[in-house]
Structure 1
Amino acid sequence: MFILLTACSLAPATPMPTAVPTAMPTVANAVEISAESPAGFQQFLTKIDNTQLADRPFALNRYWAQITQSPLVDKTHAVFLYRGEANTVALTGDMTNFVPAAQLALTRINGTDLWWYQGEYEAEARLDYLLVVDEKPVLDPHNPFTVPNPLGLRSEMRMAGFVDSAELTDPITYPAGTLTEHSIESSYLDQRRTFLVYKPASQQIGVPPPLLIVQDGSAALSLIDMPRLLDTLIGRHTSIPLVVAFVPPLDRTNEYQLNDAYAAFLAEELLPFIQAEYKTDPAPTKNGLLGADLGAVAALHTALRYPNRFGLVAAQSGIFSLADDSLMRAIAANPALPLKLHLIVGSYETNIMPDQFADPDILATNQRMAVMLERNGYEFIYQEFAQGHSWGLWRSQIGDALHYLYR
């Protein structure tokens, strides 16, 4: 079964081209336009262009007093602003895939310390970004929204049509599950592995709980506080109560790139230990794997090798082009396995880490994977969002993945 959804339609999302400065339409009635909008900024530009250089700082201060945050957004445009003395200011982010050579230059208004850049984006877009001031990446000082990243916080652009996941904005504190650390010896990896296991605050009486194993477990804990997210999802009944193991990598690049020994560790050592310790449901249809980026590769690779152990996979922005599309070729060469998959990707993921991967177009790779899964009769859902390669995207879709896979 093949289901293709986007953030707001039932048609495949088309990635927007790299944003370029665009002119806003002229609006006759200035009184009705908010200063904190792209149209309002366009009016300000027109006004300051007709202002003497000596008077421009005063005109800017009057306008700036009306601005509470940036970027200024509506459903088609975003205006990024920076105030300060600098030689150069640029924009880098999901709209440029954070590629240094693709940075977008902000323009300085003569006679002032205001820099600006205007781009066109989808109404529901949510993009990570940084400002690059004199070649130094910094958070947007006028934007209160940030998103976690292993390299540090990034600013977050939210277009006017963007709606955050309900579980991320729910103010209620739900009963908290427990987090316990364990260690086991792995004969497959020839090392001792430490991981943490989340146990929900409550579970169905007499029913063994399902299990989810999360790749990049340390990042899921430190960057997005996934245990608290699970508390909310379970408390809101978006997800059934489940046990979740957070497994941090020791050698991420090696372990996650189609590593049979790592897959054997998950299926033949970690899974039996958790089942014995937490009395989880042994059925493959109740055992899942979740991963993002290379973690998605590890999750799918393990499920394809051990479909009798893992029947559920949540793959977020998977880099499936590894080894000349090895996973897709494995799917094409064999009858459909009894797997249920939830795949997501951002429509801006078109040139991710080009210095590390032969095919950095993760969007196109995931589209090929969806076609291959459909062609071979797999049960899955595939979604594209107007976002980038970001923990902001992955965090927001965990609830939907659990609801789909474990219902």
Structure 2
Amino acid sequence: MTRLPPAPPAVPDRVAVLVRALTTDPPEIAAPDVPALLAAGLAGEVRSRLSPGHPLREALRGGHLALGARHAAIRAELRPLLAAWARDGTAPLLFKGFALAEFVYATPGERFYGDVDVLLPEDPGVLTRAVHVALAHGWRSDGLHALPERWTHEAAHLYSPSGRVRLELHRAVVPGDPALARRLTQAVWTASREQNWEGVPVRLPAPADALIVGLALSRVWGDGGHLKPADYADTRRLLAESGLNQAELEVRARELGVTHTWAAFREACWPPEGHLRLGADPAPRREVTRRDGQRPRAALWGARATLLRRRARWMLRLLPDALAAFLAVRAGGDPRRPLARWTPAVPPTPLPLDTLSDVVGAAAWLTRLLYPRQSRVGTCVPRAYTTYRALRRLGHPAVFVSGVARVGGGVQGHAWVEDHRGGLDAYGEPLNRVRFRESFSFPAG
């Protein structure tokens, strides 16, 4: 009788692990859950609610300290810029992840975030002046600030001298209908409070607005309706800090005119009743947003039509690049060999931001068309190859980056493209440097 090898240990379902860790207090977790908590950036938050003698506190300690150290490094580069803005007469409003980590959580290592979100007055002169002050202090811009015709609720993307901080300058607190976004933004400004941040004046949203606008509207209107793991913890912390109850929040939602969106968010994420639905829409997004004044279908198709007009001409021009990428993937081997063939010897000249964005977007669309049944991760190499070859052929200083990350008990590889300034906003993967450790880049250095 042939004896079968023992079955490998079951891998916990990631969503189930996160929901259980967030909604139980103290968290009901086991050793197999630790990789999922570390990957989701929840190590510090969950650890903070474990008893001092819990055996898993040490396993989560590294993730907690790493996020705290990352926040300290970001903070050290951000404060001098905000101080320079203050001297110039501008006090920005900080909201979302960085503001929560700095001002709401007990320790910054309890809250993972990617970019730093800053709201400035909508006046183009104020926005432009803020960018110029940043440039004078060594920060870099991807150029969006000089293209007001491409502004959405964001007007600029700034990168710190080290490249560690990506700052999103917002002119509105939410995307979508301009009139509605302007009304909500004004309401948030009016209710915000001034904070003396160790000598640097900033503004923070009122706790009710941080919940309703910063969380509920951002998810249901701006993130496709999908929750993020930190939303539950954010809601719990903001409720505890402010002492607000459900009735008071419903009053504020009515004042803002977003009662349906707020109700949909609470059905999916509400700590007082233990509601958390990760991996699913909080509610039928289109109907909810329509009832609160947004017109998602019209806005979506309008944006798609604009993109299609801009990118259609590039998709035909990038077909040779996509074909070369396909052949290189099929041939296998060291990626640096085809990359070397595709890198002209002449010095590169950066493309204008609008052209760069259209080429990067067209390469992504081509990849999806050519690999319709593969996941986004499964197409990272052909997409990076296509993007790199197209940009280098057009003279842009593209950089191919390969990285690895530990996921569960294994290793996951990823490839993407940057340029001489760092990450490309149009590439749509701003956290690659956070999630993956570089194994090589081409050209090197």
Instruction: Give the TM-score of the pair, scaled to structure 2.
Output: 0.28
Structure with greater proportional strand content: 1
Structure with greater proportional helix content: 2
Q: Which has the higher contact order (CA 8 A, sep 6+)?
A: 1
Instruction: Give the TM-score of the pair, scaled to structure 1.
Output: 0.30
